[in-house]
Amino acid sequence: ISLPVSIVLITGTILFVLYSRVTRHSLADDIRSGIENEEFFLVYQPVICAEDGKAKGVEALVRWQHPQMGLVRPDLFIPIAEEGKLIVPLTNYIFERALKDFADMKVEPGFRIAFNVAPEHFTQDDIESKFIHLRDSLERIGVKPLIEITERQLLTPDICQCIESLRQLGILVAIDDFGTGQTTLSLLQTMPLDYLKIDKCFIDTIGQDSVTSHVLDTIIELSHKMNYVVVAEGVETQEQADYLTSRQVHFLQGYLFAKPMKLADLKLWLVEHFKH
Ligand code: C2E
Ligand code: MG
Ligand code: MG
Ligand code: MG
């Protein structure tokens, strides 16, 4: 490359790094104040039982109504929150928010709320008491918590230990985005889990005669052998739903059934859904 071109490239890189440092810094600050100002809220996406078509629970998904930027998606701010150690207060806020949202709601017995918990969250000291509080508070309103741990990051032995202690507290644990991360088969063997959520990228391969669609079949078979409850995320077509049901996938989640909804819409949706 010629000298002027490399100067431009190097300057561009430096500027970009500086810029992202600055914006990341201020975004982390914004997250901190956003928690205080209650700018974060939850949307809920129903999880459907493949066998009877009924909603058996919801997944809580966080949203951020930023005062200047408007609605911000979690893919943008969760990594920043994780980096800046803000994931712990944010997750605690999310738990409290869900407890408030569901406090006066009538749900079917055994209804589940699934929370996404970043592996970083498990490094705090008083983690057990936080989860006991969540479990007991939800129990009072007839709801069981389910903790989804993403497989995108490496699950270290320490995190596996935490997962095990959660299960001993009677909290269900799901591995999320399965197939996209670094979980080895031997880790699956040693780490007891309750649910396995197959990532959307595998669901997208249904109907295609590709190698990945064989991978999907293999993941489902393996889950059955390990006695996991299997959940498929990102189900968008009836063809996908039929295929997954024929393969005995237990739960389905996706735009085909419902998009993530604000609390008020969820309440209406649940009333409609349980009406015969
Ligand atoms: P995830 O846990 O795998 O959540 C599923 C994502 O797929 C959600 O995006 C959901 O809105 C989207 N989705 C569901 N059904 C469909 C579908 O049929 N088609 C398509 N195209 N998308 C569908 P969302 O809400 O943007 O969340 C993205 C990720 O951010 C989540 O992936 C999760 O890893 C993370 N996240 C969300 N909320 C929280 C939270 O409260 N705490 C933590 N730590 N992470 C969160
Ligand atoms: Mg999830
Ligand atoms: Mg997922
Ligand atoms: Mg996913």
Answer yes or no: is pLDDT of 189 > 90: no
Can you tell me the distance from the alpha carbon of 138 to that of 161, in angstroms, rounded to the nearest whole number? 24
- The secondary structure of 7-76 as a DSSP string is HHHHHHHHHHHHHHHHHHHHHHHHHHHHHHTT-EEEEEEEEEETTT--EEEEEEEEEEEETTTEEE-HHH
Looking at residue 68, what is its pLDDT?
87
CB 35 within 8 A of CB 84: no
Q: What is the mean pLDDT of residues 251-261?
A: 98
Looking at residue 22, what is its pLDDT?
67
Can you tell me the distance from the alpha carbon of 215 to that of 208, in angstroms, rounded to the nearest whole number? 12
CB 260 within 8 A of CB 61: yes
Looking at residue 19, what is its pLDDT?
61
Whether the CB of 119 sits within 6 Å of ligand 1: no
Mean pLDDT of the residues in the chain: 90
Give the environment of ion ligand 2: residues with CB less than 5 A. 116, 148, 176
* pLDDT tens digits, 155-171: 788 888 888 889 999 99
Answer yes or no: is pLDDT of 78 > 80: yes
DSSP β-bridge partners for residue 145: 113
Looking at residue 138, what is its pLDDT?
94
* Poorest-pLDDT segment among 118-127, 199-208, 250-259: 118-127
* pLDDT tens digits, 110-130: 899 999 998 888 877 788 899
DSSP β-bridge partners for residue 71: 65
Q: Which residue has the higher pLDDT, 121 or 146?
A: 146
What interface predicted TM-score (ipTM) does this complex get?
A: 0.97
Whether the CB of 179 sits within 6 Å of ligand 1: no
Smallest CA separation from ligand 1 atom 19, residue: 234
CB 96 within 8 A of CB 62: no
* pLDDT tens digits, 30-47: 999 999 999 999 999 999
Taking the CA atoms of residue 27, residue 31, residue 37 and residue 40 in that order, the dihedral angle to the nearest 10 degrees is: 110
Q: Which of 203, 192, 48, 42 is nearest to 112 (CA)?
A: 48
Count other Cβ atoms within 10 Å, centred on residue 273.
Answer: 15
Answer yes or no: is pLDDT of 20 > 70: no
Looking at residue 24, what is its pLDDT?
62
- How far is the centre of ligand 1, averaged over its atoms, from the C-alpha of 228 (Å)? 21
Answer yes or no: is pLDDT of 17 > 80: no
Whether the CB of 176 sits within 6 Å of ligand 1: yes
Can you tell me the distance from the alpha carbon of 47 to that of 103, in angstroms, rounded to the nearest whole number? 20
